Amino acid sequence: MSTTSLPLLDLSRLGNSPAERSAFLAELRHAARDIGFFYLTGHGVDTHLLDQVQHLSREFFALPDAQKQSVAMVNSPHFRGYNRAAAELTRGQPDWREQFDIGAEREPLPQTPQSPGWTRLQGPNQWPAGVPALKPVLLRWQNEMTAMSLRLLRAFALALSLPEQAFDTLYGDKPNEHIKLIRYPGRDNTGSTQGVGAHKDSGFLSFLLQDRQKGLQVEVEENHWLDAEPVAGTFVVNIGELLELATNGYLRATVHRVVSPPAGRDRLSIAFFLGARLDAVVPVYQLPPELAAQARGPASDPLNPLLRDVGWNYLKGRLRSHPDVAERYYADILRSDLRNDSGELTV
């Protein structure tokens, strides 16, 4: 596997001859294990829809600040809405990107004193009045991305010699779908190169639609960063920590970051994250002996430990990244016994 560029996989090969299907699954397994990142083509998501998503995202970010602030995330206990650049933190440092977060459009769950804190994550999105087309287009894209990503996840099951539906029970009819529209301003506006600090994604699978401005970098080996150059018509796909956890470290969740664009430029990217049901608990799947022998164990950060309880794991990440929302809606959790002796959040 070359580390001079990310591998390119064609999902449409799943529907070809048995030999082609088998070759695709082998390439998928190796890409996910050796690098944890790859380009995906043949995904079947309508190219006109992708153009609409990018066009409307730029319309949103071009709105006056007051209109964007009317849907600020701090208004949402579900962590949905707009954040100015430097509002979100990675490892305690500000990320220089403005962004708009959308989740699955569902009713809030009823709350009682005994309800787990993560149940507050479910609820409606905020939608900007200034771009009325954004809601129907993004919800359509969310549906198409969910269907495609679940198809890919079933391919992962086959690539690991598991039953094709092995992961299905983790999703049911309420997968934790998350869209993030992201605009990175140029360095002349930030004074910083940190578009997003080095991190791993916490869910199962992540998909990134890039514009023509590069910036995403993947740590393919320690201190060896590879540029994930934009490739037209593809998504950049990467493995999340929960899929690494589910395979006992056979698959790889890889550290990555985004470098701010040069002066006078900006960068638009749209991310889709597929996560399991919030009430799911991730098991360790029994891989065939020849694969299990190569499992390295999940590489959990001791300062940000992985949790098998999906809802708590997802909430922990949100609380760390958005302290203003955390303080407003989750003060009881922040002040609870869910911190260790060093003050780190352990939920």
**Residues 238, 73, 55: CA angle, nearest 5 degrees:** 60
- 1 in a domain, yes or no? no
- 195-242: pLDDT as tens digits: 999 999 988 999 999 999 999 999 988 889 999 999 999 999 999 988
Instruction: Kindly tell me the burial class for residue 273, based on how many C-beta atoms sit within 10 Å of its own C-beta (0-12, 13-18, 19 or more).
Output: buried
- The whole-number pLDDT of residue 303 equals 54
Query: What is the amino acid identity at position 169?
Result: T
- 340 in a domain, yes or no? no
Instruction: Answer yes or no: is pLDDT of 335 > 80.
Output: yes
> Given pLDDT bands bounded at 50, 70 and 90, which one contains residue 165?
very high
Instruction: Answer yes or no: is pLDDT of 293 > 70.
Output: yes
Is pTM beyond 0.85 here?
Answer: yes
- 52 in a domain, yes or no? yes
- 2 in a domain, yes or no? no
Determine the structural domain holding residue 289 and report its residue range.
Answer: 8-334
CA distances from 223 to 217, 218, 321, 331 (A): 11, 10, 24, 38
Arithmetic mean of pLDDT, 168-180: 91
- The whole-number pLDDT of residue 343 equals 47
User: Are the C-beta atoms of residues 322 and 73 closer than 8 Å to each other?
Assistant: yes
Number of domains in the chain: 1
Domain CATH code at residue 80: 2.60.120.330
- 174 in a domain, yes or no? yes
- 3 in a domain, yes or no? no
User: Which two structure tokens, joined as six digits, stand for 137?
Assistant: 């287009």
- 69 in a domain, yes or no? yes
- 91-117: pLDDT as tens digits: 778 899 999 999 999 999 999 999 999
Arithmetic mean of pLDDT, 26-40: 95
Instruction: Kindly tell me the burial class for residue 72, based on how many C-beta atoms sit within 10 Å of its own C-beta (0-12, 13-18, 19 or more).
Output: middle
> Given pLDDT bands bounded at 50, 70 and 90, which one contains residue 341?
very low
- 18 in a domain, yes or no? yes
Q: DSSP readout, 235-291?
A: EEEEE-HHHHHHTTTSS-PPPEEEEPPPTT--EEEEEEEEE--TT-BPPPP---HHH
Instruction: Answer yes or no: is pLDDT of 69 > 90.
Output: yes
